[in-house]
Every structure is written in structure tokens, then in C-alpha cells.
Chain A
């Protein structure tokens, strides 16, 4: 120990400081070794279950053969990506995915904002609680259960919705067995399930608005509508922007489960999205490399969208995710 200090003393100051710091880091790590020890399993979890599959994505550039493995399979460069854009199937499914994503953005994204503002206008607290309790509930149902309920409710012969439409003289509609309704059903079931739940963050933001702002606006003669426009919406804007960016990043990620549970032979043409296609062509038909290319394409588009959205948002509103 004393020998080491002597050596350190003779060295130029810069190096001496470095050795000291190194020692400190190792001493610090040793002192708090328990913290490192307990964190190891979860770090390993991320490496094994998140980063190894990420590395395994190289099979998108191979003709992956399950017997030859990652090392033995032939490299084909971007062939699978090129193949993708020549596939009629792929283009049709990409078109479905983009359209469903667009409908979701236009109809499902603003719904909780409007509902939160309406709930916030309620003065009957008991009524507000009851409405909240009821509208939050569908979020906790599984997609399998929601699809099962839909089969019962939307059935053309026995469904209660078609019975209701019958009262207005409308012929029964086969909601789940018709290409022209499937996108509406997919987006609509999401609105039914998640609009109520989606209000929670907006309601929290609304609760944070200083009531004096409204009082001052009222003295200035602003009516409720003007107050909503000038005070409520601007106060919600940061929350809206953050959730909008998250939504944009997931634009192609409409979700596997919520689509798969509604698909059948009669509505796949318009209802199939990239995720269900990847499952069908990848896992069921074992086109491993090709569907990994499709999956990578999806992830990269998502990354570009979230980066671009983040950039524009920072420029225009100052809000950003990272």
C-alpha cells in the first residue's frame, strides 16, 4: 500500500489523480456490492430477452434455416426487403395497417380529450364518480372477451344491436362477417374499451388548472366556450402533445391481439394488419427470414416516426419525449 502511494506521488499530477479516482470507483462498487448483485438478474434479463432477439434480427438478411442456425444460413442482403414491396399481399396489408392507424388517430385519439373536458364540466360529483367508474371498466377486459361479447352483440340474427337497428327499419348488418365493416369494428372496439381509461391523464392535468384563471376570464366577460378554448385546451396541450408523440411512435403498432381476435375468413381482406400477417406467414407458415424483415421494417418506421415527431414537437411547442 505505501509503495503504491509513493509511486503515485512521483507520477505527474494528471496520472496520479486518475489512479486515485479508479481506486475510488472500485472501492465504491465494493462498498455497495449488494446493490450491484441484486441488479444482475434483471440486467441479464434485458440482455437475454431484449438484446439477443434484437441481434437475432440479422436473420432478416439471411435465408434462415432452422437446422443450419444463425452461423450456417446463407446471406442474402436486402433481398427480403425488396421482396416485400413486390408482394401484392404485403402492399394490401400495409395499406390496411396505415388506414386503420389513421382512423385510430383521427377518431380514437381525440375521444378521451373530449370526454375528459365534458367530465370536468360536471358539477354533480356523485354522478361524475359513477360515470368514471363505468367508463374505466371496459379497459380491464381482455380482447378475447371483448371479441366474444362482440360476436354476441353484433350477430345479425340474435345480436342486440341489430335488434335495435331493426326498430329503426334497418336491415340486419353482418358486422363481423363483412370486409366493409371490419375496420370500423376494430377502431370502434378500441374506442369503446379505452376512451374512458384514456381520460385519467387528462383529468389529472385539468385538476391542476388554477381556478383563478377561470374567475379572471369571467370578469373579462368570457363565456364557458371561450374559457374552454383559451384556458382549458392550452392547459391540456403539453399532455396532448406527449400522448400524441407516443401514439405516433406506435402508428403501425395497432396491436396484434385486438385485431387477431376479430379476424375470420370473411373480413381478413380489409382487416389484416402487419402484426397478424407476421404471425400467419412467419409462425404458421414458417417464412422466418421474410417476416423478420417485415417486422424490422415496422420497427424502423416506428423509430423514424417517433424521432421526426419529437423533432417537430420540440421546434413548435417545446414539448418532447427525450
Chain B
């Protein structure tokens, strides 16, 4: 493609491959370290023996995590918030982006401006907090879902997608006597599957990883999502071993560090499991968003 390859270019290429391999290792090895620690005994961890392979292989850390009801509870809250939140996100974003993308919608410029302004100027924390408090959403999972129902950025991605749909298909459906609702459900929705998948993934990963809003709005352990639970475990070393649970009395084989690492793995597993699917879609979603700017 580039004709004759010079000697200096060959050296550059070799160094480039070496450098990128190193970089890849820097990105990957931390995962391996955490996985190794989660399968290691406490003695091995505290002596600093564990690097990238488990030492004194044990499953006790995972057994502890699986037996801790509060971790499961937090996991459940996160699953609920992610599923319900993403559904609400997609419906709320699409039901604004689609109408506003139609030339028939009078006042579409005002709505677009209204969304744009929120993107460049946002209210400080306290007024938001007072609003959630006054709406009695504190300590409910809705405080983690509703305040972020529509992301302005994702609105613009969807808006530009709907705008570039050929108007002929919608017009011809109208001539055939289809109502607007039918057009949306039967024609627009099937066409927008790719954009829905991309944005759905952005929203879902955001919900799963969200920590800040739960810190602000939820102070009862009942509705803590997994991220808050995990942070608490790190903050307070609050890993209480139930003395009646005989399998954990032998603390020589487990360790708070190992338990923390096992919880990290559990909290990351869903993301890693959908990563191949994720990777296929986020590149598309991101470059789609760039079309607008």
C-alpha cells in the first residue's frame, strides 16, 4: 500500500509493536492481579506473594461473598436500577427525540435549545438535592433512575439519527392511512434498533457503575446499589464474619483483602460478560454521536 518500506520505518514498526504490547499489558495486568488475589489465601496476600497467579488457591473469599445477604441485596438493587432505568431512559429519550426530529413539529427549535442549554449550564448539587428531597424520592430507587431519565448528549445522538431517516417512508405510510402512533411503532422503531442498542448500552453501563447519585440520595443500606456497598467495604473494612458460620471461623484462610477482591470481580462480571456485545455497539454509538458535532 505504501510502496517500498524503508529500514527506519521497519525499526519504528518493531518499536511500535513492542510499545503497544507493553501498553496492553499495563491495561490488562491489573485485572489479572485482582483475579489472582480473589483466589488467594489471606496469608499469601498479606505477605505480598500474590502477583498474577493465585497463591494457596482457595474459594473461601467467594464463598463468603455468596453467603453475605447484604451483597446479594445490593446486587439485586443494581440489577433492578439497571433494567428499569435503561428502559425508562430509552422510552423517555425516544419520545422526545422522535417528535422533535419531525418537520411537522412546531416549536422543535425551542425544545432543542432547551436541551442544549442544560448541556452547557447545569445547576449545582444542593438545588438538585433539595428537589429530590421535596419530591420525596430520597431513599427510593427512583432517585437513582428519574433524575437522569434523559441524557442531553444521547438525546442529540437519537435526534440526529431520526432526522436522517428518509421522509418518504413516513410520508408514504401517512398516505396509506397510517396514524402517527402506528408509524412510530411499525416503521420507525424497527429502523432504529441499532441506535437503541448503542444508547441502551451507554445507559445500562452508566446505571450499573453509578455511585454518585446513590451517595447523594440514599443513606439507608436497604437501597444501596452494589457500587455503594463495595465502597463501604473498602472504607470501613466492614466485613463482619458471622461467628455461627463455621466455614469462616478459620480466618487464617480468608482475608478482608481477598473478600474485597472477590466482590470487585462479582461487581465487574456482568460488564465483562457483555463486553463482546458491548464493543460491537459502543464504537457505532460514539461515531454516530460525532456526526452531529
**A contact residues vs B (CB 8 Å cutoff):** 25, 28-29, 31-32, 34-36, 38-39, 41-43, 45-46, 48-57, 59-60, 66, 115, 118-119, 121-124, 127, 130-131, 133-138, 140-145, 147-149, 151-153, 157-160, 163, 192, 196, 200-201, 204, 211, 214-215, 218, 223-224, 239, 242, 249, 256-257, 260-261, 275, 278-279, 282-283, 288, 291-292, 294-296, 298-299, 302-303, 306, 321
- Looking at chain A's contact residues, the main secondary structure is helix
- Chain B nearest CB from A149 CB (Å) reads 5
A135 to B149, CA, bound (A): 30
Q: Does B195 count as interface, using CB distance less than 8 angstroms?
A: no
**Size of interface on B: residues with Cβ below 8 Å to A:** 95
Q: Which of B100-159 contact A (CB under 8 A)?
A: 100, 102, 104-106, 111, 114-115, 118, 120-131, 146-147, 149-150
- Interfacial chain B residues near A157, Cβ < 8 Å: 46, 48
Q: Does B211 count as interface, using CB distance less than 8 angstroms?
A: yes
Q: Which residue of B lies closest to A249 (CB)?
A: B120
A84 to B162, CA, bound (A): 46
Assuming A39-B96, A192-B26, is B37 touching A152 (CB within 8 A)? yes
> Would you call B33 and A42 a contact (CB within 8 A)?
no
Q: Which residue of B lies closest to A223 (CB)?
A: B6
Q: Which residue of A lies closest to B205 (CB)?
A: A140
- Chain B nearest CB from A127 CB (Å) reads 7
> Would you call A218 and B126 a contact (CB within 8 A)?
no
> Would you call A57 and B127 a contact (CB within 8 A)?
yes
- Interfacial chain A residues near B29, Cβ < 8 Å: 160
Q: Which of B14-35 contact A (CB under 8 A)?
A: 16-17, 19-21, 23-24, 26-31, 33-34
> Would you call A140 and B95 a contact (CB within 8 A)?
no
- Interfacial chain B residues near A29, Cβ < 8 Å: 106
> Would you call B27 and A137 a contact (CB within 8 A)?
yes
- Chain B nearest CB from A130 CB (Å) reads 7
> Would you call B13 and A137 a contact (CB within 8 A)?
no
> Would you call B287 and A204 a contact (CB within 8 A)?
yes
Assuming A41-B95, A145-B264, is B290 touching A152 (CB within 8 A)? no
**B contact residues vs A (CB 8 Å cutoff):** 1-3, 6, 8-9, 12-13, 16-17, 19-21, 23-24, 26-31, 33-34, 37, 45-48, 50-52, 92-93, 95-96, 98-100, 102, 104-106, 111, 114-115, 118, 120-131, 146-147, 149-150, 179-181, 184, 205, 208-212, 215-216, 227-228, 230-231, 234, 257, 260-261, 264, 267-268, 271, 275, 278-279, 282-283, 286-287, 290, 293
> Would you call B126 and A32 a contact (CB within 8 A)?
no
Q: Which residue of B lies closest to A217 (CB)?
A: B2
> Would you call A223 and B8 a contact (CB within 8 A)?
yes
> Would you call A39 and B23 a contact (CB within 8 A)?
no
- Chain A nearest CB from B129 CB (Å) reads 6
> Would you call A53 and B123 a contact (CB within 8 A)?
yes
Assuming A39-B96, A242-B293, is B287 touching A200 (CB within 8 A)? yes
* 29 contacts across the A-B interface (CB closer than 8 A): A32-B105, A35-B99, A38-B95, A38-B99, A45-B92, A50-B118, A53-B124, A54-B123, A56-B123, A59-B126, A59-B130, A118-B20, A121-B16, A122-B17, A142-B210, A148-B234, A148-B264, A158-B45, A158-B50, A158-B257, A160-B52, A192-B26, A200-B286, A204-B290, A224-B9, A239-B290, A260-B212, A283-B125, A292-B124
